[in-house]
């Protein structure tokens, strides 16, 4: 392909990227998109829930180092991913990348895996949210409400934000995330100040991580980063997607990796390395709140508990927005029913938002009915709905990132864009694909541990199948469209660009 042809194509893609399809206004800057990403990782939820669980289950001190290792892997992945975001601006993100980098059937398969994974993550978090709210109301105010009632109220609030201006959601998330960071920073300072066994760098030592059990640590840790890849989803609403999306992606990865590494190190130092696994196993999320109550004050502990709830809420809003935009993108290209591309007068994907809300309601009601009289008691939504769905969703997202890394290589090999070097187009995404495939394999190998099971069960097969099978169905559906609706097939993964022309891919 000639340089002039590449330049013309890039110019066309740039023109498409600058357009605001369907009246969707470009309101988001780097800070807003970064906040949307970090909100999905839920800082306080990761510290109180994820970090304590990892220490308790694995018994390894190397958790802080694991965040740095995962951050490095995802930063390498982000090299090609961010470069591709400059040339492909589509609310479907992974879907569009796989379609244009591998093949249209692969794109449709990826889109359905992404829809399932994001829905599993979003709906699963509702289980933890319902338990936390009902427990707090019972302990502090003596008000007993079922967990599912709190969830249904939250679903309604998230739905309202979902159909409103996306920058309104960003502002709400910004306030909540800022408060979360403040509380966690206070905890970190108090933990390093307490240091009952002294400040030690052992949790950052490779010998504390790279031992038997490292797979479980990485499997738990990768969930803390989920959402960083969602930057590209907001490309069509970013003020300048060519700069906003890459900068937000790198910023989010760096902040998440460093922040969680320091905070988990602080937890190890604050409790004491020799006591950490036992205390984390006995107290769980309360480990953070009990520590704050003892070393900072009960008011700080109470505020942290409230922010733990708002942290979950922020993650719910962020994942809801991601799911709604996938529905919008697939409806726009008629891979799914066309009515899914409907937007509100604010430009938000209204139809996709309402569908996601409906899914959350149905799944919540199903778990509520199934859990009636369960022997698990109040912990039922945490040990089932939250644990099962979020771990399956995290596994799906890692698989998607590994596939997209391969798609980046294919995309730039086809286009031969002069400004993109071999490191960006081939080496970095190749390394990312291999590393993410290894992480995915470790998650599968440790899936029983992630589900809290002592031996394999039917869930060990059913939940991974729920994530993978939609991809197979998507590929078959796309191949059928190729024969029955060739015009529609030609637009797959090309968004608004596909309606004006397609790039002549021979897939």
Q: Give the domain ranges of the chain.
A: 3-500
CB of 416 within 8 A of CB of 71?
A: no
For residue 377, what pLDDT band results from cuts at 50, 70 and 90?
confident
Output the six-digit token pair for 201.
């760098």
Distances (CA, A) of 322 to 226, 228, 311, 318, 458: 12, 11, 17, 6, 30
At residue 52, the pLDDT reads 86
Burial of 484 (0-12, 13-18, 19+ CB in 10 A): exposed
At residue 90, the pLDDT reads 60
Q: Which of 152, 154, 146 is nearest to 362 (CA)?
A: 152
**pLDDT beyond 90 at 201:** yes
Distances (CA, A) of 459 to 146, 388, 466: 26, 8, 10
Output the six-digit token pair for 275.
């006591």
**pLDDT beyond 70 at 421:** yes
Calculate the average pLDDT of the chain: 82
Residues 6+ apart with CB under 8 A from 220: 50, 53, 54, 57, 58, 450
Q: What percent of the chain has pLDDT over 70?
A: 84
Which of 51-55, 225-229, 476-480 shows the lowest mean pLDDT across its residues? 225-229
At residue 71, the pLDDT reads 93
**pLDDT beyond 60 at 328:** yes
**pLDDT beyond 50 at 431:** yes
For residue 454, what pLDDT band results from cuts at 50, 70 and 90?
low
Give the whole-angstrom CA distance, residue 352 versus residue 481.
Answer: 22
- Helix, strand, coil fractions of the chain, as percent rounded to 5: 80, 0, 20
* Adjacent-strand bridge partners of 238: 28
Output the six-digit token pair for 320.
């809801």
For residue 105, what pLDDT band results from cuts at 50, 70 and 90?
very high
Rg of the chain on CA atoms, in Å: 22
Give the whole-angstrom CA distance, residue 234 versus residue 91.
Answer: 6
At residue 499, the pLDDT reads 45
**pLDDT beyond 60 at 18:** no
For residues 373-383, average pLDDT: 82
More confident residue, 22 or 486: 486
Q: Which of 218, 214, 208, 222 is nearest to 253 (CA)?
A: 222
For residues 238-266, average pLDDT: 85
**pLDDT beyond 50 at 455:** yes
Q: Which of 174, 106, 220, 151 is nearest to 359 (CA)?
A: 151
What's the pLDDT tens digit per position in 144-168? 999 999 999 999 999 988 877 555 5
At residue 26, the pLDDT reads 58
For residues 192-215, average pLDDT: 90
Burial of 285 (0-12, 13-18, 19+ CB in 10 A): buried
**pLDDT beyond 80 at 336:** yes
At residue 281, the pLDDT reads 78
Give the whole-angstrom CA distance, residue 231 versus residue 245.
Answer: 6
**pLDDT beyond 90 at 251:** no
Q: Which of 89-103, 191-205, 335-349 has the highest mean pLDDT?
A: 191-205
At residue 212, the pLDDT reads 76
At residue 27, the pLDDT reads 61
For residues 62-86, average pLDDT: 90
Residues 6+ apart with CB under 8 A from 341: 22, 328, 331, 332, 349, 351
Class of domain 3-500: mainly alpha
More confident residue, 407 or 313: 407
At residue 147, the pLDDT reads 94
Give the whole-angstrom CA distance, residue 168 versus residue 27.
Answer: 10
**pLDDT beyond 80 at 239:** no
Residues 6+ apart with CB under 8 A from 355: 324, 327, 340
**pLDDT beyond 60 at 24:** no
**pLDDT beyond 90 at 450:** no
Distances (CA, A) of 339 to 54, 330, 355: 43, 10, 11
At residue 61, the pLDDT reads 93
**Sign of the Cα pseudo-torsion (453, 391, 447, 456, in order):** positive
User: 416 in the Ramachandran plot: left (φ > 0), alpha (ψ -120 to 50) or beta?
Assistant: left
At residue 273, the pLDDT reads 93
**pLDDT beyond 90 at 123:** yes
Q: Please, how many CA atoms are within 13 Å of residue 121, restricted to the half-sphere of its CB?
A: 30
More confident residue, 22 or 495: 495
More confident residue, 56 or 504: 56
Give the whole-angstrom CA distance, residue 379 versus residue 485.
Answer: 49
């Amino acid at each position: 392909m000639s340089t002039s042809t590449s330049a013309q194509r890039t110019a066309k893609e740039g023109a498409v990227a600058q357009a605001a399809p369907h009246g969707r206004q470009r309101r988001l800057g780097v800070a807003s998109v970064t906040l949307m990403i970090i909100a999905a990782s839920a800082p306080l939820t990761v510290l109180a829930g994820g970090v304590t669980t990892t220490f308790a289950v694995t018994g390894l001190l190397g958790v802080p180092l694991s965040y740095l290792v995962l951050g490095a892997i995802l930063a390498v992945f982000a090299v090609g991913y961010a470069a591709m975001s400059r040339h492909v601006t589509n609310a479907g993100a992974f879907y569009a990348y796989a379609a244009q980098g591998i093949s249209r059937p692969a794109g449709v398969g990826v889109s359905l895996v992404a829809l399932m994974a994001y829905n599993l993550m979003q709906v699963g978090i509702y289980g933890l949210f319902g338990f936390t709210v009902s427990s707090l109301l019972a302990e502090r105010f003596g008000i007993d409400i079922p967990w599912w009632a709190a969830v249904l109220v939250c679903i309604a609030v998230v739905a309202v934000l979902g159909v409103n201006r996306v920058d309104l959601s960003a502002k709400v998330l910004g306030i909540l995330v800022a408060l979360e960071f403040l509380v966690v920073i206070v905890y970190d300072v108090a933990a390093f100040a307490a240091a009952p066994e002294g400040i030690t760098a052992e949790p950052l030592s490779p010998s504390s991580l790279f031992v038997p059990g490292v797979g479980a640590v990485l499997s738990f840790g990768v969930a803390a980063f989920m959402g960083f890849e969602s930057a590209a989803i907001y490309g069509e609403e970013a003020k300048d997607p060519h700069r906003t999306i890459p900068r937000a992606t790198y910023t989010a990865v760096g902040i998440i990796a460093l922040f969680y590494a320091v905070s988990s190190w602080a937890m190890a130092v604050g409790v004491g390395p020799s006591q950490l696994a036992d205390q984390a196993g006995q107290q769980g999320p309360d480990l953070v709140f009990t520590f704050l109550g003892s070393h900072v004050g009960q008011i700080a502990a109470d505020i942290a508990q409230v922010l733990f709830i708002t942290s979950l809420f922020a993650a719910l809003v962020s994942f809801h927005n991601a799911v709604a935009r996938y529905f919008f993108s697939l409806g726009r290209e008629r891979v799914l029913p066309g009515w899914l591309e409907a937007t509100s007068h604010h430009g938000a994907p209204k139809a996709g938002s309402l569908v996601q809300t409906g899914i959350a309601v149905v799944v919540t009601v199903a778990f509520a009915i199934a859990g009636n009289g369960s022997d698990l008691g109040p912990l039922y939504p945490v040990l089932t709905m939250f644990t099962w769905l979020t771990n399956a969703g995290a596994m799906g997202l890692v698989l998607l990132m590994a596939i997209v890394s391969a798609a980046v290589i294919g995309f730039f090999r086809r286009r031969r864009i002069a400004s993109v070097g071999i490191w960006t187009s081939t080496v970095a995404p190749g390394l990312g694909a291999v590393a993410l495939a290894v992480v995915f394999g470790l998650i599968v190998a440790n899936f029983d541990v992630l589900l809290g099971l002592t031996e394999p069960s039917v869930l060990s097969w059913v939940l991974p199948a729920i994530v993978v099978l939609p991809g197979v169905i998507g590929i078959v559906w796309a191949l059928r469209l190729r024969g029955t609706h060739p015009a529609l097939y030609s637009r797959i993964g090309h968004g608004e660009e596909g309606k004006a022309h397609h790039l002549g891919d021979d897939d």
